[in-house]
Amino acid sequence: MNAEPASPTASGDLAHGPAPHLVTALPGPKAREWLARDAAVTSPSMARVYPLVPERAAGMVIEDVDGNRFLDFNAGIAVNSTGHCHPHVVAAIERQAHDLLHYCSSDFSLPVYVETCERLAATAPMHGGVRVFLGNSGTEAVEGAIKLARYATGRPNVIAFLGAFHGRSLGSLSLTASKSHYRGGFGTMLAGVHHAPYGELGYVQRVIFKHLSSPEDVAAIIVEPIQGEGGYVVPPAGWLAELRKICDEHGILLIADEVQSGVGRTGRMWAIDHDGVEPDVLLAGKGLASGLPLSAVIARHDVMSWGPGKHGSTFGGNPVACAAALATLDLVEESLMANAASIGKRLLALLAEVQSRHPAQVRDVRGRGLMIGVELPNHDEAVAVEQSCFRRGLLVLTAGESSLRLAPPLVISRDQADTAMAILEGALDEASSG
């Protein structure tokens, strides 16, 4: 198997053609037609960041319905980890689709489900045995983890962190604290959830345990080892170890939400590996199956001890998604995790140079591997740079209050990294002059 970072795809002409390459004004005429149809029939709850209407994609490149090609630096919000339509992943999907599309994994044993759980268990950053439950999405993994923590400990409360994003279903939304807009209008959230500042040493003991909840009532502390929606924030050294110590002292479970940061994105399989901290439960999703819906709850054997019927999913661990995950793990372990570390280091160096030329605009550059945040002066400027990048053919997204998030597919090449940084600097120049 060839898993080189710039490996060709089924649409090799697209993957290796020039990008960005813009042939119409944006949005183009066909895109405008689709955007009008979209606005007429789809839920208005779905935010549309910029008028992109993809038709096909390969590697790092997305082509829209008008033939405009974009360099993808958001990977479907960190989902397309192996790039778009990687041939190894596509071949695995095709093989599985010919054999078995679906059978409910909650009621029957599927070999590909078991194999996926075995592969994930082998990567787990915990000593001793683990068990794995497969779901469809990150928010489902979080919901499962809440249930599991309450069941395993017999306790009701959960501690999460300001700036966190854990999902939009009601239980996970109760943990989410990145934007009040996400929570507004939905009434009472899940009881027993307390939020602490992300990365602040001593706060849990000094404030939550003293004023809000006895530690004996806390089932779990859930944390993103690097915050995603909150702005791609890397915690200070020692803070995750402090959380581990608190959990050990009080019989609390430590849940690492790696839905966005996991599966090689930070240059290691799991972001928590950088801190040498072992969680009790780890959650995966997004990049796990290179674009197919799949998530995982990976927990210590003694923690995941609930009995039959306590949790399940009709579609979770779908055979086709599992096949995609196995192919994804092949690629990540063989070369793409190392590529993420290498290109991520290069991007951070290039961004440091950009920051030196734009000190008034670029307030901070932070991240690990291909999970990088660029802090700008305010929200409006972050949006202006995001939109300018789109008009120039580079797809980036904002995060937090005033950050850009850079999360390209792990197949990115040096040339593509250099091209993206030149475009970003042009967008910064436009924002400063506007």
Known catalytic residues are 165, 257, 286
CB 346 within 8 A of CB 412: no
Q: CA 247, CA 270: separation in Å to the nearest integer?
A: 20
Q: CA 252, CA 315: separation in Å to the nearest integer?
A: 31
Q: CA 323, CA 89: separation in Å to the nearest integer?
A: 8
Phi, psi angle pair for 200, to nearest 5°: -90, 110
Q: CA 215, CA 251: separation in Å to the nearest integer?
A: 8
Task: Give the contacts of 354 (CB within 8 A, at least 6 positions apart).
Answer: 362, 421, 424, 425, 428
Written as one letter, the residue type at 160 is A
CB 61 within 8 A of CB 15: yes
CB 433 within 8 A of CB 397: no
Written as one letter, the residue type at 337 is M
Phi, psi angle pair for 302, to nearest 5°: -75, -20
CB 311 within 8 A of CB 173: no
Q: CA 36, CA 17: separation in Å to the nearest integer?
A: 30
Task: Give the contacts of 14 (CB within 8 A, at least 6 positions apart).
Answer: 56, 57, 58, 59, 61, 63, 69
Look at the alpha carbons of 4, 6, 11, 16 in this order and tell me if their dihedral is positive or negative.
negative
CB 220 within 8 A of CB 158: yes
DSSP category for residue 7: -
Q: CA 301, CA 281: separation in Å to the nearest integer?
A: 10
Written as one letter, the residue type at 367 is G
Q: Is 44 exposed, middle or buried (0-12, 13-18, 19+ CB in 10 A)?
A: exposed
Local structure of 140: helix, strand or coil = helix
